Amino acid sequence: MKTMTMVGGNIDKKILTKCLHKARKMINFTKFRCKHFSFIVRKNKIVSIGYNQQYKTHPIAAKYGHRFCSIHSEIHAISNYKYDLSECKIINIRLDQWGNMKCSRPCEFCEKLINDNMLKCIYSNEDGFYEFN
Ligand SMILES: [Zn+2]
């Protein structure tokens, strides 16, 4: 397993480790080959979790131009959280079937959703975590 490297400074390593641990526990929640997870984190606490799902859609997904019958983890996590998103971060983690981290940079539609909600985004890559944009 690769070790995590921090990019962008002001991120608590503990919360990233916690999210990674949770994502690995939920690896079978998603039937896709690549398992996408999104964690909404507020004050270093996980307040919402999302994962990619097939054969489902959501009004937000339609609004943001997702054409296929699936829900991205970002939409799942954001729509599950009913409170103010200010002061929140979104942490994206993508795993392969063996639990190795892969690049989970948001797609163009989720990028817009993240920007509209003014969320800070951190996403996994094969060699650690990166800050979005
Ligand atoms: Zn997306």
Domain segments of the chain as ranges: 4-125
- Residues 8-66 have pLDDT tens digits of 555 678 899 999 999 999 999 887 888 999 999 998 899 999 999 877 778 888 788 77
* CB 121, CB 103: distance < 8 Å: no
Query: What is the 59 CA–ligand 1 centroid distance (Å)?
Result: 14
Please report how the helices 73-80 and 108-116 are oriented relative to each other, as an axis angle in degrees rounded to 10.
20
C-alpha count within 13 angstroms, C-beta hemisphere, residue 57: 10
Percent of the chain with pLDDT over 70: 88
Q: Does residue 4 have a pLDDT over 60? A: no
Tell me the whole-structure pTM to 2 decimals: 0.86
Selection from 7-21, 31-45, 66-80, 91-105 with the highest mean pLDDT: 91-105
Q: Does residue 2 have a pLDDT over 60? A: no
Query: What is the 97 CA–ligand 1 centroid distance (Å)?
Result: 19
Query: What is the 75 CA–ligand 1 centroid distance (Å)?
Result: 8
* CB 77, CB 121: distance < 8 Å: no
Percent of the chain with pLDDT over 90: 60
Query: What is the 54 CA–ligand 1 centroid distance (Å)?
Result: 13
Query: What is the 73 CA–ligand 1 centroid distance (Å)?
Result: 7
CATH of domain 4-125: 3.40.140.10
**Ligand 1 being an ion, which residues bring their Cβ within 5 A of it?**
72, 107, 110
Cβ-based neighbour number of residue 52 at 10 Å: 22
